[in-house]
Structure 1
């Protein structure tokens, strides 16, 4: 799951929007406030669950030019694409309203974020590009963004060359995966609440 899915998960579980994104950034967890740490931990658990899910294994094994070992990176982005395309199936909140709520929450906590995340929030303040993640152009831009800052980014070019196929291949795995993700995060949230109440 990528940025948008983690923001949606934060809304579903009533956890921190900022914390939900921190799993993709370098942070010292010992320095995090409790609400951010909770979101960070949930992000990590989701990433492990998604990586091991049979739908993810299926997506990575589908025939295409890109290396299987890098397909998971692209999967995160195209899963966001399909979440946005199927948004009304997973949320009763209108998409534009949700995006505004997420950005406002991130703005409030911006001072508690690492520099690269601050820059991302600033870009959202200037131009709300969250809905664009549900477009082919948005997917392409997101992949290029990773390519620019990752030393092995060149290996993602073949996925862009075959992008329409890659997006199409992700639809069925997404529809199998995401309901399980939501069930998983609700269960994990209940476990965390129970542990907190015992403490």
Structure 2
């Protein structure tokens, strides 16, 4: 799961929004305040559960001309896309209200976050792009952002070239996996 799903999980479990994103950022775990640490731990558990889920394995095993190794990165972003597309099935809160609430929560904790997460929060505060992750362009932007930051980023270019197909391949796995994930996080709370 990527940012949006982790924020949804934070809302559902009443844990720190920033803490639930920290799993994707370099942090000194032993220095985290309890609320951020709780979110960080939940993020780690979610990532393991998702990676081991049969639908994730199926998505990653789809033939992609030698790119299976990087499919998990793209899967996280694709899962956010489908969560936004099916939002009303997973939340009673409107998408717009949730996105605003998430940014408000993140801004409140920004000062306690690593610089890279602070930069992302400032970006969200300036232009809340969370709902954009539910568009093909938003998915492409997210992949390109990873490509710029990561030394192996060039390996993600083929996913962009086949993005409509990749998105379509992610729908069924999302619909099976996400309810299982929500049941899992409910047990963690």
TM range (shorter): over 0.9
Corresponding position of 1:113: 113
Map of 1:35 onto structure 2: 35
1:87 has 2:93 as partner: no
TM-score in terms of structure 1 length: 0.94
CA RMSD of aligned residues (A): 0.7
- Deviations, residues 119-161 of structure 1 (Å, cap 9, x unaligned): 0000011101000000000000000000001011111001111
Q: Displacement, 1:63? A: 2.3
Report what 1:60 is aligned to. 60
Contact 1:2–1:76 (8 Å) recurs in 2: yes
Cα distance in 2 for residues equivalent to 1:188 and 1:126: 33
Deviation for aligned residue 1:61: 1.1
How many aligned positions are there?
A: 189
- Which residue number in structure 1 is paired with residue 146 of structure 2? 146
**Structure-2-length-normalised TM-score:** 0.99
Deviation per CA, 1:76-103: give whole Å up to 9, x if none: 0000000000000000000010011110
Mapped contact 1:18–1:113 kept (Cα < 8 A): yes
Assess if the C-alpha contact under 8 Å between 1:65 and 1:158 holds in 2.
Answer: no
| Larger CA Rg, structure 1 vs 2 | 1
Runs of 4+ in 1 over 6 A off after TM superposition: none
- For residues 149-199 of structure 1, what are the alpha-carbon distances to aligned partners after superposition, in whole Å with 9 as ceiling and x for unaligned? 10111110011110000000000000000000000011011xxxxxxxxxx
